[in-house]
Amino acid sequence: MKEQRAKDVQRVEDALPPGRPEKIRALLAPAMEAELKEADVITGVDEATGNVFLIYGRKLLGQIVDSNTARPAKTVMVPILQATSELEALVAATVAAKGHHEYE
C-alpha cells in the first residue's frame, strides 16, 4: 500500500504545474483518506483566488435543495492551489475515499 501511495504521489506531481510537494503528500496520506471517507460533502478552496468548488456530494446537496429542508451533512473544505497538481491530488484522494469524484 505504501508503495502504491508513493507511485500516486509521483504521478500527480508530474501531471500539472507543480504544486507544493508537502501539500500533495498530505492530500494523498492515509489520514486525509480517512477524513474524506467520513465526509458527506467535499469541497476544494483555491488559496490563490478564493474559488470554492465541489469535489463530492452533488447528490446530497441536490436532495437538500429539492426537499427545501435542512439536514446535517459533514463537510470537508480542503484548501489547495487549484491550478496545480494539488487539484489532481485532491481528486485522487477523493476517489480513494469515495470511489469517484464529481469535479467538473
The answer to the question of residue 103 being in a domain is no
The answer to the question of residue 6 being in a domain is yes
How high is the pLDDT of residue 68?
94
Rounded CA separation 28/39 (Å): 16
Contact assessment for residue 45 and residue 80, using Cβ atoms and an 8 Å cutoff: yes
pLDDT tens digits for 28-82?
999 999 999 999 999 999 999 999 999 999 999 999 999 999 999 999 999 999 9
How high is the pLDDT of residue 79?
98
Report the chain's mean pLDDT, rounded to a whole number.
90
> How many folded domains does the chain comprise?
1
pTM: 0.83
How high is the pLDDT of residue 1?
56
The answer to the question of residue 20 being in a domain is yes
The answer to the question of residue 82 being in a domain is yes
The answer to the question of residue 104 being in a domain is no
Could you list the residue range(s) of the whole structural domain that residue 62 is in? 2-98
